[in-house]
Amino acid sequence: MTIGETVSGGALTELSRWSNRVLEDRVHRTLYTDPAVFEEEIVKVFGGQSWVYLAHESQLPKPHSYLSVRMGQRPLLLTRDRNGALHGIFNRCSHRGATICRDEAGVAKSFQCPYHGWTFRNTGELVGAPWPEGYGMDFDKSQFGLRKVNRIETYRGFIFGTLSEDAPSVPDWLGPATTWLDYWIDRAPNGEVFVRSAAYRMGYRGNWKLAYDNAGDGYHPSFSHRSLLEMASRMGESKDMSYFGRTPDDGPMRSYSLGNGHSVIDQRPAHEGGFWINQRPQPGRERFEEEIRANYPERADELLDLAVGAQINLSIFPNLLIIGNQIQVIEPLAVNRTQLTWHATSVGGVPDEVNTVRMRTQEDFPAFGEPDDQANFEEVQRGLDVVEEEWVLMNRGLGTGWQTTTEDGVISTAVTDELHMRSYYAEWIKRMDGAQA
């Protein structure tokens, strides 16, 4: 049976040309190793009907702000015009193809290509080309503006772009994932979330889907992150993540398939007594807690819980991961090269000390924990060079009776179920087959 026919028994799509490479319980190694598959993904998964996460609105704080990002491999400038409206213009001069902006972020009303001096407004229109007489009398500037992303939409500060005029709205695309994104945002007083610090970038020699496979995987932490847990235990009881090793199949944590390739791991049921009290020991924690309890006794527990992660791992297909307090973006560079960009977040309505600790928590994860994952990604990619062993399994949870389905189509299961992989590959098939979203 193919993944196109069933995910936990529910009909999803008709048979496709991928039916011999995506089965119900496994996928073919070439989906991670074939450059032709990768090139098609860039066009169809990071283009086509998909909504691709681009940035957070707080990264463009005022009129004429701009930010350099990627839409798959496409270099893109996100800009605000003088009225504050958002635009997505491809960072490619319409003359000879050079990037028109080489800075990561800033403020600019216009951009001039360093190669031949063509100048464009920050909304993409061509302002002028040097010595225009050389292009003849019929040269029409209105025909040579920068290509734009067809549609830009936001959901509560999260900016998404699509190359399709026919894609559903972002809330419809997110579906039940909005409930989890709302929870993550509404933990902050007044829902004020900000991305203000520089990005933390990590590159690994492996396929981009390996990061997505891992983000919804509750099976690996007690093995892959053993070094992190052992380090923390030297400073006291290692609490956070250690619960993944305590019979997680029948434990309180749950994983949910949310539709459209989205999924979430809910770790909150394992945090009895609050989030802060269940954290691993970290340098400076005790002094920080003393100050918070002394200065804000009535809000202390609330503020301390805000200083650490939301205890969910939310995956928004194809490239957005919400992990702890961080926004993680998957950026495909080649079939076997990927960049993961982590953005720390601060929140409004809290004392400065809370946001200081939110920044410091990155010294724990991702700084200490993410290298474990990336080592695994690289070793998986290396192992996939064994061409005689064709399949990558995603069969955990099949035939167990773990899954239950709610009225809105959300599937709930054990945290170690590989349902998240089976679900997102069903969406992957739709995108690769060019189906309507």
Give domain status of residue 220, yes or no.
Answer: yes
The answer to whether residues 150 and 197 belong to one domain is no
Nearest CA-CA partner of 180 in 248, 251, 241, 268: 268
104: tokens are: 């990561």
Q: What is the number of structural domains in the chain?
A: 2
Asked whether residue 41 is domain-assigned, the answer is: no
- Asked whether residue 140 falls in the same domain as residue 92, the answer is yes
CATH number, domain of 69, equals 2.102.10.10
Q: Do residue 231 and residue 193 come from a single domain?
A: yes
Same domain, 300 and 385: yes
> Residues 290, 391: one domain?
yes
What is the predicted pLDDT for the residue at 241?
54
Q: Cα dihedral sign for 53, 56, 57, 63? A: negative
Same-domain status, 277 and 138:
no
pLDDT of residue 371: 80
Within a domain: residue 170?
A: no
> Tens digit of pLDDT for each residue in 271-309?
888 888 888 777 778 888 999 999 999 999 999 999 988
- pTM (2 d.p.): 0.92
Residue 24 lies in a domain: no
Based on the fold, state whether residues 179 and 150 are members of the same structural domain. Answer: no
CATH of residue 385:
3.90.380.10
Same domain (yes/no): 133, 261 = no
- What's the pLDDT tens digit per position in 332-382? 999 999 999 999 999 999 999 999 989 888 777 777 677 888 888 899 999
Give the pLDDT score at 240: 55
| pLDDT value at residue 13 | 43
In a domain, 47, yes or no: no
Do 320 and 189 reside in the same domain of the chain? Answer: yes
Range of the domain at 265: 175-433
Could you tell me which of 1, 165, 48 has the C-alpha nearest to residue 428?
48
Q: Which of 77, 260, 69, 53 is nearest to 158 (CA)?
A: 53
Given a contact cutoff of 8 angstroms between Cβ atoms, the answer to whether 334 and 184 are in contact is no
C-alpha 153/C-alpha 309 separation (Å) is: 26
Per-residue pLDDT of the chain (437 residues; tens, 9 = 90+): 666 555 543 333 457 899 999 999 999 999 999 999 999 999 999 999 999 999 999 999 999 999 999 999 999 999 999 999 999 999 999 999 999 999 999 999 999 999 999 999 999 999 999 999 999 999 999 999 999 999 999 999 999 999 999 999 999 999 999 999 999 999 999 999 999 888 889 999 999 999 999 998 877 677 666 676 676 566 555 555 555 556 677 788 899 999 999 999 999 998 888 888 888 777 778 888 999 999 999 999 999 999 988 999 999 999 999 999 999 999 999 999 999 999 999 999 999 999 998 988 877 777 767 788 888 889 999 999 999 999 999 999 999 999 999 989 999 999 999 999 999 999 999 999 987 65
Q: Phi and psi for 398 in degrees, rounded to 5?
A: -70, 135
Looking at the structure, do residues 232 and 309 belong to the same domain, yes or no? yes
The pLDDT assigned to 312 comes to 95
Burial-class residue 290 by CB neighbours within 10 Å (0-12, 13-18, 19+).
exposed
6, part of any domain? no
**Residue 37 is assigned to a structural domain of this protein:** no
Does one domain contain both 199 and 311? yes
In single-letter form, the type of residue at position 306 comes to: L
Q: Both 61 and 146 in a single domain?
A: yes
Reading the block at residue 190, the tokens are 């007044």
* Residue 22 in domain: no
Q: What per-residue string of b and e applies to 150-178 under the rule 16 or more CB within 10 Å gives b? A: ebbbebbbbbbbbbeeebbebeebbbbbb
Give residue 13's Cα distance to chain centre.
25
Domain boundary among 125, 154, 183: 154
